[in-house]
């Protein structure tokens, strides 16, 4: 049967605007580019809005090593509408509202079928600057120059191409700016609280770093009815913000005097927190979080990525006494099955997403979003592709 909704550009390259990063740490440049049509198992998406995550900034700043690849189109937290699909794509069709996500979920491999974790054997854990199946790019500058991908999403463009394993269809009932948050940061924090730590009612929680991910951990802990949710941050303004997400106590390391943060947490929790979350990406904070756990069963969950510092060093004595440490990507959530559940919780007025959005800008002003995040003024800045 003929598809009357088929895009007029289906099967053809599309010209559109993109914010291109040409050199590390330099402002993005709005340019006209070409976006190739989707190949087999691929989806071309018209981005409606996107947002800036700390991971974008981390890689944008990176000027050396194998991951410093430019020119590049960053962005991996977004929502859009399916414009066209390649062969073998059956789970979405043109016009569907979708979230592109950096974590693959093929649903067929052993890991995807396992109730444990959220790995995907079919795609592995390799981070590169290309499409995952054929290792080529779908973006070109108007002079034919290859523009590289980022985390298999690249949402700082009006159109992008994503493998179907990285696409999640969602309900059109949720406001698109709120849904956008679920494609990375908020899901990571809530998933860490629910899936990785599996916080139980009455437990105590300490969160190192009250950015968007840390506050999402707090929201997850609140919904699990934790008795104490301790926020640790150098910014004193984060306590008032954190209260909206369930934070009950606040520690500013700069005002602890001669005490360590772990000593403060042990006093508040009578011996140590049941669950500690490191959301910054510093080995020293990971160690402090581990020391803040109670003996006999405390768990530390690492969500921050240490890029350049020393390796994590732990005293095995405390491991033998029952403390544990683990990490996760995307909070252990399996995107295709778990994100729709978060959407429903928001629609049921259980999940606070509104509080994460602190700023909004037009696509032409995308560099303002970088400034706001670097200055510590925003949690999430929504970047609208159309005014």
CA neighbor of 251 nearest in space, from 228, 224, 223: 228
Least confident range of 141-145, 231-235, 254-258: 254-258
* pLDDT band per the 50, 70, 90 thresholds, residue 288: very high
Name, in order, each residue with C-beta under 8 angstroms of 93's C-beta and a sequence gap of 6 or more. Answer: 5, 82, 85
Q: How far apart are CA 96 and CA 234, in angstroms?
A: 42
* pLDDT band per the 50, 70, 90 thresholds, residue 6: low
* pLDDT band per the 50, 70, 90 thresholds, residue 310: confident
C-alpha to C-alpha distances, 345 to 138, 318, 342, nearest whole angstrom: 35, 38, 5
More confident position, 126 or 251: 251
Rounded to two decimals, what is the model's pTM?
0.94
pLDDT at res. 5: 52
Q: Two tokens at 329? A: 């990507």
* pLDDT band per the 50, 70, 90 thresholds, residue 96: very high
Residue 293 predicted with pLDDT over 50: yes
Q: How far apart are CA 57 and CA 370, in angstroms?
A: 7
Locate tokens 């029952």: which residue?
Answer: 322
pLDDT at res. 2: 43
Beta pairing partners, 31? 18
For 105, the 3-state DSSP assignment is coil
Inter-residue long-range contacts of 303-307, CB under 8 Å, 24+ positions, other chains counted: 303/188, 303/189, 303/192, 303/213, 303/217, 303/277, 303/278, 303/279, 303/327, 303/328, 303/331, 304/209, 304/278, 304/279, 304/280, 305/55, 305/58, 305/281, 306/281, 306/282, 307/58, 307/62, 307/281
Mean pLDDT of 183-207: 98
Residue 3 predicted with pLDDT over 70: no
Residue 65 predicted with pLDDT over 90: no
**Which tens digits make up the pLDDT trace of 201-231?**
999 999 999 999 999 999 999 999 999 999 9
Cis ω before 385 (30° cut-off from 0): no
Is there a contact between 161 and 53 (Cβ–Cβ < 8 Å)? no
Q: Number of C-alpha atoms within 13 angstroms, CB side, residue 289? A: 32
Is there a contact between 159 and 35 (Cβ–Cβ < 8 Å)? yes
Least confident range of 96-105, 117-126, 166-175, 241-250: 117-126
Name, in order, each residue with C-beta under 8 angstroms of 88's C-beta and a sequence gap of 6 or more. Answer: 40, 41, 164
The angle that helices 283-291 and 261-269 make with each other, rounded to 10 degrees, is 30
Burial class (CB in 10 A: 0-12, 13-18, 19+), 212: buried
Q: How far apart are CA 359 and CA 372, in angstroms?
A: 9
Q: How far apart are CA 142 and CA 222, in angstroms?
A: 49
Count how many residues are written for the chain.
Answer: 387
Q: How far apart are CA 339 and CA 380, in angstroms?
A: 18
Mean pLDDT of 130-156: 97
């Amino acid at each position: 049967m003929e598809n009357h909704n088929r895009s007029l550009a289906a099967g053809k390259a599309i010209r559109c605007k993109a914010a291109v990063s040409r050199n590390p740490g330099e402002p993005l440049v709005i340019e006209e580019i070409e976006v190739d049509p989707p190949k087999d198992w691929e989806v071309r998406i018209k981005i409606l809005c996107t947002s800036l995550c700390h991971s974008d900034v981390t890689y944008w700043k990176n000027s050396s090593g194998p991951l410093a690849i430019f020119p590049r189109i960053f962005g991996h937290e977004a929502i859009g509408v399916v414009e066209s699909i390649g062969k073998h794509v059956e789970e979405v069709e043109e016009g569907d509202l979708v979230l592109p996500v950096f974590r693959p979920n093929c649903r067929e491999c052993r890991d995807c079928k396992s109730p444990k974790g959220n790995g995907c054997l079919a795609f592995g854990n390799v981070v590169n600057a290309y499409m995952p199946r054929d290792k080529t790019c779908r973006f070109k500058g108007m002079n034919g120059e290859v523009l590289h991908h980022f985390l298999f999403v690249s949402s700082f463009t009006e159109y992008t191409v994503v493998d179907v394993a990285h696409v999640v269809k969602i309900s059109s009932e949720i406001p698109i700016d709120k849904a956008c948050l679920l494609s990375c940061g908020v899901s990571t924090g809530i998933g860490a609280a629910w899936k990785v730590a599996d916080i139980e009612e009455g437990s105590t929680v300490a969160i190192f770093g009250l950015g968007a991910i840390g506050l999402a951990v707090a929201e997850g802990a609140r919904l699990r009815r934790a008795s104490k949710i301790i926020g640790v941050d150098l910014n004193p303004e984060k306590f008032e913000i954190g209260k909206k997400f369930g934070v009950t106590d606040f520690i500013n390391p700069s005002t602890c005097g001669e005490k360590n943060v772990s000593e403060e947490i042990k006093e508040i929790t009578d011996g140590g927190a049941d669950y500690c979350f490191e959301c910054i990406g510093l080995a020293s904070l990971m160690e402090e979080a581990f020391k803040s756990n109670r003996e006999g069963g405390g768990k530390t969950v690492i969500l921050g990525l240490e890029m350049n510092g020393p390796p994590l060093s732990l005293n095995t004595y405390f491991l033998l006494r029952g403390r544990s440490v683990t990490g996760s990507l995307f909070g252990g959530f399996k995107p295709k099955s778990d994100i729709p559940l978060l959407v429903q919780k928001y629609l049921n007025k259980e999940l606070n997403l509104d509080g994460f959005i602190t700023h909004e800008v037009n696509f032409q002003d995308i560099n303002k979003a970088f400034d706001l995040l670097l200055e510590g003024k925003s949690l999430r800045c929504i970047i609208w592709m159309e005014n």
